[in-house]
Chains A and B, each alone.
Chain A
Amino acid sequence: MQTDPTEKRLRALMLASLDGDAAAYRSLLAELGRHLRPYFTRRLTPAFASHAEDLVQDTLLAIHTRRMTYDRNRPFTAWLHAVAHHKFVDHVRRQSIRLTVPLEDDAPIFAHDDSADAIARRDLDVVLEAVPPRTSDLIRRTKVDGASVAEAAAAHGISETAAKVSIHRGLKSLAARFAGGPK
């Protein structure tokens, strides 16, 4: 039977533990703790990463109280994986964790920076000076403030088609000037 060194070592420790060797048991549990922590952390979304330590402890406890169910003739890592998987599924169900990020945790702290916003606004003002005032206002209304083309056209008393053409031309000339085109 071909077995990898981890399986061989852990299984030897487990067999010694079942025979009552406390030192072997202690090093087995310590090593399992080190394996289990990243195992659970990987499976939990970042929002629930703090649950990993609880899960490690739950699993170690289950290994302890249910060690009778390990069949000495079978691979230890398979048994361990089954216990850890069961604990993980049970935990997810019990906490009714949907394995997605909950809404209240989905507002990243660094997404909104007011000063960066102001700098962007000033840059925009500078750029928009390059086109005629009516065109720049139409672009600002439709692309920045979120108004519809019809609303922007009505504000200037021009037709929707004329507004569309004006916006299109303005953006095109801005692109030609600022988007890495020939100076």
Chain B
Amino acid sequence: MTDDLIARLSADLKPVRPMAMQRLLFGATLVSTLVAIVAMNMWLGMRPDLDTAMSTMNFWTKFGYTLSVAVLGGVATMALARPDGRIRWPWIAALGLLALLVIGAFIQLATAGPDDMMPLIIGGTSLVCPWRIVVLGLPMLLASIIALRRMAPANPTLAGFAAGIMAGGAGAWVYSFACAENGMMFLALWYTLGILIVGVLGAVLGRFLLRW
């Protein structure tokens, strides 16, 4: 029986390219990012003041925070997709980034006038912002879960969570071109909430879909 299996498997052998796993995940993220960008343009459109925003610190803070979280989530996903994969530093780094952001947010609030406080925290879109991030993160979440199904995560739930954080970060990054909020506290609260929702979604999907 086992000999039959070995014969069948070796007859089925196809070469595996070096870095095949990285290529697969990278391809999945690239395609899904493009899908999210197109979806964002058709659904929400770029923020009208993009040209002036690009010269502000707040725009680049959003840009940097979301992209860094996406990359850290991607690094974690890549490690956790292996049966012998363990990794902790991306989580610590992401929490460190969030801590820096919160410190920056308090400095921004301290220097702002009392009338500017609420717009910097709640803004005008805090109720829709997390959900838009979830929607824009879904393409990458689904693509990476599909890719991960061919891999061997030792902990499917955790691997799904990592993929969710990556997808949430990417969705938030795409959304940052459409969102006209300028508050760092807004970013720290509502963007982070949106990213976490995608992360939890990934953990649930991972638990059921990434078992092997």
- Chain B residue numbers with a CB within 8 Å of A18 are 15-16
Decide if A26 touches B5 in the complex (CB within 8 Å): no
Residue of A23, A61, A79 near B5 (CB, 8 A) is A61
| Chain B: CB-nearest residue to A87 | B212
Decide if B13 touches A60 in the complex (CB within 8 Å): no
- Near A by CB (< 8 A), chain B positions 32-83 give 81-83
Q: Of B150-158, B160-168, B185-193, which binds chain A? A: B150-158
A63 to chain B, nearest CB (A): 8
Residue of A17, A66, A72, A78 near B13 (CB, 8 A) is A17
Q: Is B21 an interface residue (CB 8 A)?
A: yes
| Chain A: CB-nearest residue to B23 | A68
Q: Encode A70-98 as 1/0 by CB contact (under 8 A) with B.
A: 11101000110111001000100000000
- Chain B residue numbers with a CB within 8 Å of A67 are 16
Residue of B3, B84, B150, B212 near A79 (CB, 8 A) is B84
| Chain A: CB-nearest residue to B81 | A69
- Near B by CB (< 8 A), chain A positions 151-172 give none
Main secondary structure of the interface of B (DSSP, over half): loop
Instruction: Assign chain B's interface to a size class.
Output: 20 to 34
Decide if B1 touches A29 in the complex (CB within 8 Å): no
Main secondary structure of the interface of A (DSSP, over half): helix
- Chain B residue numbers with a CB within 8 Å of A81 are 84
Decide if A19 touches B15 in the complex (CB within 8 Å): yes
- Chain A residue numbers with a CB within 8 Å of B3 are 30
Decide if A57 touches B15 in the complex (CB within 8 Å): no
Residue of B2, B14, B84 near A74 (CB, 8 A) is B84
Q: Is B127 an interface residue (CB 8 A)?
A: no
Decide if A62 touches B5 in the complex (CB within 8 Å): no
Decide if A22 touches B13 in the complex (CB within 8 Å): yes
**Chain A residues close to B by CB (< 8 Å):** 17-20, 22-23, 25-26, 29-30, 33, 53, 56-57, 60-62, 64-72, 74, 78-79, 81-83, 86, 90
**Chain B residues close to A by CB (< 8 Å):** 1-3, 5-7, 9-16, 18, 20-21, 24, 81-84, 150-152, 154, 211-212
Question: Told that A22-B13, A65-B150, A68-B151 touch, could you supply 17 new A-B pairs with CB distance under 8 A?
Answer: A17-B13, A22-B10, A26-B6, A26-B7, A29-B10, A33-B2, A56-B2, A57-B5, A60-B2, A64-B9, A66-B150, A68-B150, A70-B82, A81-B84, A82-B154, A86-B154, A86-B212
List 12 interface pairs A-B (beta carbons < 8 Å), by A numbering.
A22-B10, A26-B6, A29-B9, A56-B2, A64-B9, A65-B150, A72-B18, A79-B82, A79-B83, A82-B84, A82-B154, A90-B211
